Structure 1
Amino acid sequence: MNQNLSAYRIFYTVAHAGNISKAAKELYISQPAISKSIQKLEDGIGCKLFLRSSRGVTLTEEGELLYSYVKNAFETLTLGEEKLHRSIELGVGHLKIGVSSTLCKYLLLPYLKEFIKRHPHISISITCQSTNDTLKLLEENKIDIGLIGKPDNTKNIQFDYLEEIEDIFVATKDYLRNLKMRGVTKSHILQNSTLMLLDKHNMTRQYIDDYLQINHIHVQDSIDISDMDLLIEFAKIGVGVACVIKSFVTSELADGTLIEIPLGIPIHKREVGFAYKTQLKPSKSLRAFIEFYRGYTP
């Protein structure tokens, strides 16, 4: 932009008023100052913007074109100011959260339900990604906070522990009965079943792959699934053995829909919690959310 904002403000006001005298009163500046600013703007652009007469001023064809854009710009600025004032008065803010679809449904939603009740004027955006992708978005400042499994490296982030989660393998009674009929012992179920796991980009999958490798469990047949809910549903119809988070299938375990497969060496529990960057000053919305979840028990 070759001209400064004040020159366009004068141009906009004169065009809207249709009279330099009226514009001078509205802007609280002298008529000569307005005429000088218009002349400078016309010289800078290289064309006439107004036709002057005894009754006032009218826009030229070029002036009409410029005015259409300048009008939109100043109306947008005015709208922005109004929204800002309204936000300040109501305590309106915006909070961007990153979370996996699994943790979103089972862990985040109870927190959000109560937080929204207490802070109805804070708008919330949720980006559902894996923990790895959430950490990347956090690093790139594209989200304010993430609900993640605790990473190995917590440098530059504050990790606030929420709870532990436990990974288990489950299947239906019928599926396990069929394995037994084929002579598969309890200690060899994983090696001889169709194993259903989250896809390889997921941090949970990486954790389970490490467990299988360390314990020399060689999987013959596996299916990659992107969603924990689908893993649970596929297990319930007997497709195979699914690796799921125990607290997410408590009702299925209680009523016998799914059976937990005993492991010689249990999978270590993992920590999940909220994480945000320590290098940036948190916004009011983020501060409100941090204060909320630190003192709330769902």
Structure 2
Amino acid sequence: MDPKISYFQTFIYASKTKSFSKAAKKLGVTQGTVSNHISVLEKYFDAQLFLRTPEGVDLTLEGNILYENSEKILESINNSKQQMRILHEHPEGVIKIAASTTPGEHLLPSILKDYTKEYKDVSFQIQITDSEKCFKLLEDRVVDIIAVGNIYDKTYESIVIGKDRLVLIVPSEHPLSKKSVAKLADVLKEDYIDREIGSGTREILVDALQEKGYSMMDLHIVMSLGSTSSIITAVSEGYGVSILSEIPARKAAESGQLKIVPIEDLDLTRYLYLVKGKKPRNPSAIKSFWDFVSGQ
């Protein structure tokens, strides 16, 4: 049986008081508990630590060696606890985040800006990729946290950081741009610009189509692109229509690049999430950031 930290504390009290009964009184335990702790230490170190005398107990030579080192051990532990407490109060270091396009480009910047106002010693490394790859990076511990629009693995802890809906985007002069709302039947007639497989946006659309008895095969897909910005460009140049997050679509519409048309018979609402890795490399900074976002 390996000794616990508390056993060394018991040993120090017995050494100072030269009495198991006095040590027990100071520690608020029974004398039998003190004897048991000392016995475990003697077995562990294979040495007699005390000599019993009529007045109480005295340290042996081996006991003196352990006494000197026990105080150092306990001091080191207390120093470590103090340093960890300070680190929890004043986290530092780097947090690595992978994010899909919408949360990564449109939600994270303001969150990180607010956080770093308060915690100036924490910095961030961000990479933008699709939701599926984000989860792979999290699983491989390449990143500490991911920001995504679709949960591929529900065994991870997550929090909601925003709500979004997907909308139909069409060229500014497209016939559908004159409508206040569109139907799925309208989309099925058009050349469609798709997001790449693995995109959270695409997965939401896949699920919504399945609920209506359709699949991506029912769309007339003319190209598949790997980013929101490239889809916006392709739509604005008249290559087809697409469905993507209203957040970047709204900015493009306000600049006159395209028009937004909600689809009334498809449920395209989704939530955006932060997902935390199971074994973070910088737990103090991760906890600080997670608590900060959770409290907003």
Interval of TM-score (by shorter of Structure 1 and Structure 2): 0.5 to 0.7
Matched residue, 2:235: 235
Q: How far 1:200 moved relative to its partner?
A: 1.5
Matched residue, 1:6: none
Spell out the pairing of 1:122-201 with structure 2 (5 A cutoff). Answer: 122-151=122-151, 153-155=153-155, 157-176=156-175, 188-201=185-198
Contact 1:148–1:273 under 8 Å retained in 2: yes
Question: What is the root-mean-square deviation of aligned Cα atoms in Å?
Answer: 3.3
SS at match of 2:247: helix
Contact 1:99–1:134 under 8 Å retained in 2: yes
Contact 1:93–1:123 under 8 Å retained in 2: yes
Q: How far 1:225 moved relative to its partner?
A: 0.8
Describe the superposition over 1:85-129 as per-residue Cα deviations: whole angstroms up to 9, x where unpaired: xx9798531211111233211111111122223222223222322
Using the alignment, how far apart are the partners of 1:172 and 1:211 within structure 2?
23
Q: Which runs of 5+ in 1 are unaligned?
A: 1-83
What's the % identity of the aligned pairs? 18
Contact 1:175–1:240 under 8 Å retained in 2: no
Using the alignment, how far apart are the partners of 1:187 and 1:123 within structure 2?
44
Using the alignment, how far apart are the partners of 1:163 and 1:129 within structure 2?
18
| CA 239–123 in structure 1, closer or farther in 2 if over 3 Å, else same | same
Contact 2:166–2:269 under 8 Å retained in 1: yes
Spell out the pairing of 1:11-90 with structure 2 (5 A cutoff). Answer: none
Q: How far 1:251 moved relative to its partner?
A: 4.1
| CA 125–281 in structure 1, closer or farther in 2 if over 3 Å, else same | closer
Matched residue, 2:207: 210
SS at match of 2:249: helix
TM-score scaled by length of structure 1: 0.59
Matched residue, 1:47: none
1:168 aligned partner, one-letter code: V
SS at match of 1:168: strand
Contact 2:169–2:241 under 8 Å retained in 1: yes
Q: How far 1:178 moved relative to its partner?
A: 10
Matched residue, 2:69: none
Q: How far 1:158 moved relative to its partner?
A: 0.9
Using the alignment, how far apart are the partners of 1:250 and 1:179 within structure 2?
16
SS at match of 2:120: coil
Using the alignment, how far apart are the partners of 1:120 and 1:257 within structure 2?
38
Q: How far 1:256 moved relative to its partner?
A: 6.1
Contact 1:102–1:227 under 8 Å retained in 2: no
Matched residue, 2:19: none
| CA 273–262 in structure 1, closer or farther in 2 if over 3 Å, else same | closer
Matched residue, 1:245: 245
1:238 aligned partner, one-letter code: G
2:167 aligned partner, one-letter code: I
Asked whether 1:105 is paired with 2:105, we answer yes
Contact 2:103–2:149 under 8 Å retained in 1: no
Using the alignment, how far apart are the partners of 2:153 and 2:174 within structure 1?
39
Contact 1:199–1:225 under 8 Å retained in 2: yes
SS at match of 2:173: helix
SS at match of 2:160: strand
Using the alignment, how far apart are the partners of 2:203 and 2:225 within structure 1?
14
Contact 1:235–1:242 under 8 Å retained in 2: yes
Q: Which runs of 5+ in 2 are unaligned?
A: 1-82
Using the alignment, how far apart are the partners of 1:125 and 1:262 within structure 2?
35
Q: How far 1:161 moved relative to its partner?
A: 0.9
| CA 129–220 in structure 1, closer or farther in 2 if over 3 Å, else same | closer
Using the alignment, how far apart are the partners of 1:116 and 1:187 within structure 2?
43
| CA 106–258 in structure 1, closer or farther in 2 if over 3 Å, else same | same
1:275 aligned partner, one-letter code: V
Using the alignment, how far apart are the partners of 2:165 and 2:184 within structure 1?
20
Q: How far 1:151 moved relative to its partner?
A: 1.4
Between 1:268-277 and 1:208-217, the stretch displaced more is: 208-217
Using the alignment, how far apart are the partners of 1:202 and 1:162 within structure 2?
18
Describe the superposition over 1:175-214 as per-residue Cα deviations: whole angstroms up to 9, x where unpaired: 226999xxxx966432222211211122321332333344
